[in-house]
Structure 1
Amino acid sequence: MDKFSAWEERRAEDLTNCNEIMGNLVITMLSVLSVAVVVLASGLCCGAVATPDAIPDADADPLLAAHSPYYAYYRSSPIHTPNHTDQTPTCAHNTTKSWCLEDTDYPHTEIRHALHQHYHGIQILHTDTILTTENSVQGVETQEEEAYLCPSETTYVQPLRAVSTEGRWRVIVNNVEVYGENLTQSARIEECLGAPGDSCPLVPPCYQTQCVQKFVYHRFLVFDPYDFIFPFAVETFKLPSSCSCFMAPSL
């Protein structure tokens, strides 16, 4: 009985030591987990209020801008408040045209940063929308050689905003530099100078004529600041292309 009692006593002591070791191990694991949670929470908190001075200068290194999450999400806000693309922009308040060639609210910085992040994705889109700005009249080498029956004005434009065929104002990617390349999109437009319905001045008045504005559809690469996955797309825009003389059929 003495040997059995000693064995029972040693067994009880071993179980006590084992329980103590397991308890200490559990406490240690919980402490480590608590520290990890505190560190993670502190990092998220500090990241949300990070200042631009604490962020690497990605403007000097385009590759950093393309691969740094801190630069993408914690960069300082732009100095302007961008309008929603469905709203009429400020540049269109004092004009009847469906496009803007100047825009004080143009999100140049946001577009440049997004182009750095999605450069390979937009290369195909931009190549698909490149338009030639050469004279579209076949066989004519200079604009002065063209003959028009209606007065018109021809210009080559690089719009910053325009109304799409869906009736929405869109931001068009234009004159934005990315990796040393200046991305531009141009279009040739021709607008009638006279009032709608004016007769063709070079046609004898015995004929019933009128000047008619013609349009053509262009495809532009646009930027959507509210699409956080891929903020670029190709949309269609209707722009004036020529001023034609329409002659009514004789009776």
Structure 2
Amino acid sequence: MALQYLVSLAVVGVVLADQHSHVSFSLGGAPKVTHHASHHHVPVHHTPVHHAPVHKPRVHHPKPHHPRPAHHAPVHHPQPSYHPQPAYGHHEPAEPACAANTTKPWCLEDAEYPLYEIKHAAEYHYEKLLSLYADVADLSTELSVERPKTLDEETYLCPSATAYVRPLRAINTEGKWRVIVNNVDVHYETLTQTTRVEECLTAGDACPLVPECYESSCLQKSIYHRFLVYDPYDQYFPFAVETFKLPASCACLLGAYTIDH
């Protein structure tokens, strides 16, 4: 009997030991089984895990685009060396200084004559200038018939003065002073404009040698002459042909026949 009891205890002990349990006995009764957590830990070897660095995708934030203004290369326009000015209509020139030294509507001498500017402008516009000059060059009266010098040849009823002039400035038919192209050397050619003028010396007076019974007076007659002029205020083509009223002859005007008693 005792042996059977011991065998039973052995079996229970094996079972409990297998379940990591602890069996305790008491003197007065059945054995008490008390469960205890096992204090034996199986050593675990942790292999260090190397994690590859995580590369986060870079988020591209585009910068605001501010288009730059287009820079265009400046267009070069060749400028003539004579530096043209605005047209006459915008800047009316004042009366030239030479006008103070004469009572005539032209100047034969001019200290302010723009010869240098005219020459450079003429060279720059040479071909077009020649076409204009050809229109007025044939109007030169330098070779026209001169008046007789003695009374034996012919007698004039009214005294007058005749001259061949090359004006540097003159007043045109609109009452404006203009610069006349004269004595300008351009490409081995000299541009000149000569005109014949005849002025009455006693305009408005009675004609000499005419009997007093005739009403008479000396009358100044004029002719319209064209000159090639230089316009310093024209920035495109500073030359033009304009019209001028010049004295051409002196005539004797006869009126009604009168008889004085």
Q: Same fold (TM over 0.5)?
A: yes
Q: Which amino acid aligns with 2:217?
A: Q
The one of 149, 168, 171 equivalent to 1:163 is 171
Q: Is the 8 A contact 1:218 1:237 kept in 2?
A: yes
Aligned partners of 1:146, 1:98: CA distance in 2, in Å? 30
Stretches of structure 2 that go unaligned for 5 or more consecutive residues are: 1-54, 63-67, 84-90
Tell me: CA distance 1:237–1:211, structure 2 relative to 1, closer, same or farther (3 Å).
same
Deviation (angstroms), 1:133: 1.8
2:111 corresponds to 1:95:
no
Please tell me the root mean square deviation across aligned C-alpha atoms, in Å. Answer: 3.6
TM-score (norm 2): 0.62
Q: Which amino acid aligns with 2:101?
A: N
* 2:22 corresponding residue in structure 1: none
Q: Which amino acid aligns with 2:187?
A: Y
Aligned partners of 1:113, 1:123: CA distance in 2, in Å? 14
Tell me: CA distance 1:216–1:146, structure 2 relative to 1, closer, same or farther (3 Å).
farther
Deviation (angstroms), 1:203: 1.5
Q: Which amino acid aligns with 1:221?
A: L
2:155 corresponds to 1:147:
yes
Tell me: CA distance 1:128–1:107, structure 2 relative to 1, closer, same or farther (3 Å).
same
Q: Is the 8 A contact 1:114 1:231 kept in 2?
A: yes
Alignment deviations for residues 45-94 of structure 1 (CA, whole Å, 9 cap, x no partner): xxxxxxxxxxxxxxxxxxxxxxx748455xxxxxxxxxx66421100013
Alignment deviations for residues 171-206 of structure 1 (CA, whole Å, 9 cap, x no partner): 110001000111000110001112x32111121222
Deviation (angstroms), 1:96: 1.9
Q: Which amino acid aligns with 1:241?
A: A
2:245 corresponds to 1:230:
no
Aligned partners of 2:82, 2:218: CA distance in 1, in Å? 52
* 1:201 corresponding residue in structure 2: 208
Q: Which amino acid aligns with 2:240?
A: A
Stretches of structure 1 that go unaligned for 5 or more consecutive residues are: 1-8, 20-29, 45-67, 74-83
SS of the residue 1:148 aligns to: coil
2:149 corresponds to 1:117:
no
Aligned partners of 1:85, 1:217: CA distance in 2, in Å? 23
Q: Which amino acid aligns with 1:104?
A: A
1:73-92 alignment runs, 5 A limit:
73=83, 86-92=93-99
Q: Is the 8 A contact 1:135 1:142 kept in 2?
A: no
The one of 124, 132, 135 equivalent to 2:140 is 132
Aligned partners of 2:204, 2:134: CA distance in 1, in Å? 39
The one of 208, 215, 220 equivalent to 1:213 is 220
Tell me: CA distance 1:124–1:224, structure 2 relative to 1, closer, same or farther (3 Å).
same
Flag the structure with higher strand content.
2
2:180 corresponds to 1:172:
yes
The one of 183, 189, 200 equivalent to 1:192 is 200
Q: Which amino acid aligns with 2:178?
A: R
Flag the structure with higher helix content.
1
Larger radius of gyration: 2
Aligned partners of 2:82, 2:204: CA distance in 1, in Å? 53
Alignment deviations for residues 71-124 of structure 1 (CA, whole Å, 9 cap, x no partner): 455xxxxxxxxxx66421100013221111000011111000000000001111
Give percent identity, aligned residues only: 55
